[in-house]
Amino acid sequence: MRRALVAGLFFAALILIWHVAATSGRWSPVLLPTPWSVVEYLWRALADGTLLQASEVTLQRLLVGYAIGLAIGLPLGLLTSRFDFLEDTIGTLALGLQTLPSVCWVPLALLWFGQTEAAMFFVVVMGTLWSVIIATDAGVRNVPPIYARAARTMGSGGLHTWLKVMLPAALPSIVGGMKQGWAFAWRSLMAAEIYVTILSGFGLGHLLHYGRELNAMEQVIGIMLVLLLIGLLADKILFSPWERFLHRRWGTARS
């Protein structure tokens, strides 16, 4: 209860500072709208269905691309942790490509796939893939060797050791990589939606872009807040329960 109260007071203070700055006359309302004008925009966008439709389109793209990235990245990460040849090739490639800003994939996506949904999915997959490979590889390699030795003395070996010992022990790092991959997927998709215009559906990135084009700063800030809210909800619903379970499972939970 106390933590919730402190957090509430903190964000209330931020909103108050924002309101004071916006109404001080130092900045134009075009550049810094008031909190109330942002709330009015969000209410209008909710009422006419624009916000819900854009959120649905964006989340569909994100979930599909993220799932594809996980389906490719997890096996590759396990393989790179098992074979030094793959570590020296795919692992090195993943380390290099992870440093690329998400927007760098957009020109390639446009050239290869055009103004299509495939271009969106490609950018999201590229944003997810490399983080998942690196985290899975590092997680398995950092498992204490005594775990595998103890399993072998009890008759385990081969695939059984990997599935029953190494993979569960590496799960905290793997989940951390999945969480990081989700964050990179978000950034990648926003870059794609800003630069790729398709008629199959306008997402939150398009609303963000159009707000900038129209100098509608209340729309830009409103969409940024929606993105922030979705990101926080995803963390609380998708990743935090896994992290709490793993901490309890391995006895690393804070008392």
pLDDT band at residue 83 under the 50/70/90 scheme? confident
Burial letters 157-193, b for 16+ CB under 10 A, else e: eeeebbeebbbebbbbbbbbbbbbbbebbbbbbbbbb
CA distances from 223 to 58, 218, 236 (A): 12, 9, 20
Q: Write down the pTM of the prediction.
A: 0.83
The pLDDT of 194-220, averaged and rounded, is 80
* Of the candidate ranges 63-72, 79-88, 168-177, the one whose mean pLDDT is the lowest: 168-177
What are 93-138's pLDDT values in tens digits? 888 888 888 788 888 888 888 888 888 889 999 988 988 898 888 8
For residue 125, the model assigns a pLDDT of 92
Report whether 101 contacts 146 (CB < 8 A). Answer: no
Q: 155 or 195: whose pLDDT is higher?
A: 195
Q: At what angle do helices 217-234 and 167-195 cross, to 10 degrees?
A: 160
